[in-house]
Structure 1
Amino acid sequence: MKVQYLGHVVFYVKDLERSLKFYRDLLGFTEIGQAFNGKAAGLTSGRTHHELLLIEVGDAPGPPDGVRRGLYHIGIKIGESLEELRSAKKELERNDIPISGMSDHTVSQSLYLHDPDGNEVELYIDVPGSNWEENPKLALSPTKPLVL
């Protein structure tokens, strides 16, 4: 498997509006839309469908009781086809790396795993023809199970 580029970062944040003022209004990311009943927002610089996803968790209790503020996961683009994703899955399995999830996000399809320190990593491919450039809100479509 070969990494193409770091695609996105997902942060759990205390206050979505406060974070949007920083990332959107100050730094200049473009908001593509909101999801989870207004508790999440996707942002892009225009390079890809989303480079940043912010998910509001409020005063989260933190581990071990649940979600904490901070890094949720990073997304790494590894290819352009389902065959490349299947190949990555086989390589992970050969190396005894557990896969914690597989998802179809409409614009991308993903494998989820954890690095040696427990950080979540998403390996993904962009879905050919998903047309996120014409409709950026597709990046916030409901997640569906992925079967490889």
Structure 2
Amino acid sequence: MALTRGIHHVAYRCRDANETVDFYKRALDMDLVLAISEDRVPSTKEPDPYMHIFLDAGRGNVLAFFEVPNSLPMGRDENTPAWVQHLAFEVEDMDALLSAKARLEGMGLDVIGPTNHEIFQSIYFHDPSGHRIELAANTVKPGQLEELNRLAPSMMDEWQRTRRTVRQAAWLHAEEFAASA
């Protein structure tokens, strides 16, 4: 049994707290539930005024952002591919995913997808601060998660030894890659 009970909140930096609250409300119906602003960082005691906002992401999950105006402009880790770092949120079903895509495109956002991951389908877009957001609708079939769970330890062992693509779960995207070949 895990020591943790779940994710308390996930925090990212934003360019503008008001813009962020507005975007997440309009795009994903997330409500602002808490705002904290101080002149010093509680954990380090360093002077750095900030606005810390908390948004209701559903099911007790909280998405938080910091606006830190006295820091250098936001950037990203240029050594990490842009597609790697992202926030993923679950939606009810494929209808909700397609409705969200239409809504986001109606807001003028570029939306990628749906992308079929076999056990779920996703769309991708960016928030005003440049964070990549994924919305995912589960499409898992009976037995798939159990098989992926069974394969995970041997996949990790092989990856650790070789640092090469591990193929035990290639069936997840086999049809998609065959169609594009």
Q: TM-score, normalised by structure 1?
A: 0.46
Higher strand share: 1
Larger radius of gyration: 2
Higher helix share: 2
